[in-house]
Structure formats: C-alpha cells, structure tokens
Amino acid sequence: MNPFQSLYFYALGTPLAFIGLMVAVSSVTTALAYVVGGAIADAYGRKRIITVFSVVAATSSFLYVFVFSWPWLFLPIIIGALSGIYSPAFQATINDSIEPDLRPVGFASFTLLTSIPSVFMPYFGGLLVSRFGDVVGLKIGFFISGLLGVIATTWRARNLQETHVVEKRGRVDVLSSFRGMRDAYRAASEPAKKLLLFTLLSSVATALSTIFISIYVINSLKLSPPEYGILIGLSSSVTVLLIMPAAGLVRRLGLKKAAILAALFSPLSMLAFVSAVGMTDLIAWSVTGGISGALLSPSIQTLQGNLTSKEIRGRWMSMYALVPLLVSAPFQVLSGVLYSLSPALTFVLSIPFYAAAVYVLTLIKIPSRS
C-alpha cells in the first residue's frame, strides 16, 4: 500500500507540512537503525537480525489499522523505521551470496521477484479506496499487506542461510557503530565514496519528488485511485519485463555506462511528470520510471558490492542508506512546505538534484574487477 501512504496520511487530516515531517522522522529513525544494523551485520553475522526485524517490519503494517487520529501515525512510522535495522545485513547477505561477475544478474533476479506483486497490487489498492474510501479502504490494504508480509518473512526465516560466520563476537553500541562506519569510510576506495555522493544526491531528489505524488495525481490531476494504481502497476510491469534484459545490457555496456544510463531516466521521468496534464502524459512518466528501475538495480547495487570488501560491506551498506537518509530529512520537511505553496514546485526542484547525481556518476572510475 506504499503508493497510497501519503494519501492515507492526508485522509486522516494530517496537515501537508506534517506529512513531510512524518517522512523525515521515519528517515532519521531508519538512519539510526542502519548504523547499529550495519555494525551488527559485520560483528555478529547476518541471519538473526534479518529474521527478527523483518518480522517487525511486516507487523508494523497492522498498526496503521488502529490509527484514527493523525498524531498517532508517528507510532507505526517509528516502529516501521526501527525495523530497518536488518536492511544492511540483508543487502550484505545478497552481496555475499553472489560472485562479483554474476551480481548484475543476481540483483536483476531479486528485483524481478520482488516487483511482481507491485504490478497488480496498486490497482487493487485503488479499487479498495474507490469502494471503501480513503481511510477504510487503506486500512484494509494495510491489514492485507501485514498479513502477506508475515507469511513471506516466516518463509524466509526458515530458508535463510548465514553468509558471514563470526567466530569471536564483540559488544556493539551506538558510539562504536559510528566509529566503525568512520573506519570503514576511511578504508574504502575513492570510487565508493563518489558512489555514496551519488546516492546522497539521488535521495535528496527523491525526498522532493515522491512524497506527494499520490495526492498530486488524485487531487490536482483528478485521476481516480484505480487509475493511479494502473500507472504504478504499469511502471512495475516495465521493470519486470526489462529487468533481465537490463542485466545483460549492464554486462555489455559495463557498469559505469549502464549506471549513467539508468540515472538519466530519473530526471527524464520527473520532467514528464511535471509537464503532465492527464492520464496519457502520465503514462510517459510511468514508463520512464519503470525503465530506470530496471536498469538501476543491477547497475547501482552491483557497484555498491563491487566497490567494497566483504570485511566492511555491512557498514558500507548502512552508509549507503544512512547518509542519504539524514541529508534528505530536511528536504522531506521542505517538500511539505513547497507543496503547500504550489503543488508542482517540489517536483520541479527535484530535477537539478537528479541531474547532479548523474554528473557524479560520470566521475567514478570503475576497477576492472572487484
């Protein structure tokens, strides 16, 4: 139900500025969780933290069902954000499990499997909104999402294998986690640091451009919730159809060229969005976004794995999420203010950040093999 989350916040009476604030609180909380999660992933292993906190992430969806006043939204938001502590371990596990040369195909396969539900579920969510209203319909959606999440995480817990066995375990606290990330940053290569800057700029652009999309499309462009669901499903369909060919394209073009090409579609997609006046124009936004999604996963995630060693990979996976989250938080608050002034303004201002991120990618020198 994520495509409709901000619409749910708005339907409960949340002021526009506070919607941005809520997302910012989620970002900061998630960032702190990543700090600890990355250190635990390297110091204690991956499996246990993934198992426990992925269940917390799934069950947090149920909490939205019991929210009837918008200030209480902070509770499921914060709990859901804290569950992100397992994300660095999960990303490190995927990288640990795939040989460097096979990472484009591996990440493409993972994205393919995880994108299939998003082909049809947004339309189903739109039908729920049309049938039961913004609040009740989305409560039903959150309940279904939580139920499916519990089933999926239970299955994963039964089948997940540990990829990083640590013989001597130490004590991890928040301060040592920050020091560990600092040490990992110092030990990393310059290309890895530039990739971190790319991720930072992209996250600022995303902070400005994504929070109010559902509200803008439904309230300003006057599309129905099912039509909005169709657009999100179309984007996911394009990603699903192109993800495996995209992995082959990464191998033929090389990581750098493929990553630049993928990143270029982000500002193009946003240009299509801000110039859209109806469903036909929004199809261009949806399709270009799907193409970007297909190319980004095998190229950028492969770069993240290839440019870091296994010993510091857990902490670097947390940094690739931590730093952008902290930097994007004030821009998420700003997006609410900008949207209150002029709905299209926050989307327009995201485009230069997308373009700057593309430029940073052109500066990265990729090692021949990692």
Give yes or no for residue 204 having a pLDDT over 80. Answer: yes
Per-residue pLDDT of 295-316, as tens digits, reads 777 777 677 766 666 666 666 6
Fold of 2-160+171-362: Growth Hormone; Chain: A; (1.20.1250)
**Geometric angle at alpha carbon 172, from 303 and 29, rounded to 5°:** 65
Give yes or no for residue 1 having a pLDDT over 50. Answer: no
Reading the block at residue 368, the tokens are: 């021949």
Per-residue pLDDT of 228-286, as tens digits, reads 999 999 988 888 888 778 777 777 877 778 888 888 888 999 999 999 888 888 999 99
* In the chain, domain spans: 2-160+171-362
Per-residue pLDDT of 105-122, as tens digits, reads 666 677 677 777 778 888
Query: What pTM was estimated for this model as a whole?
Result: 0.78
Distances in Å between the alpha carbon of 139 and those of 133, 227, 321?
10, 20, 29
Contacts of 7 (CB under 8 A, 6+ apart): 129, 134, 138, 214, 215, 218, 225
104 in Cβ contact with 112 (< 8 Å): no
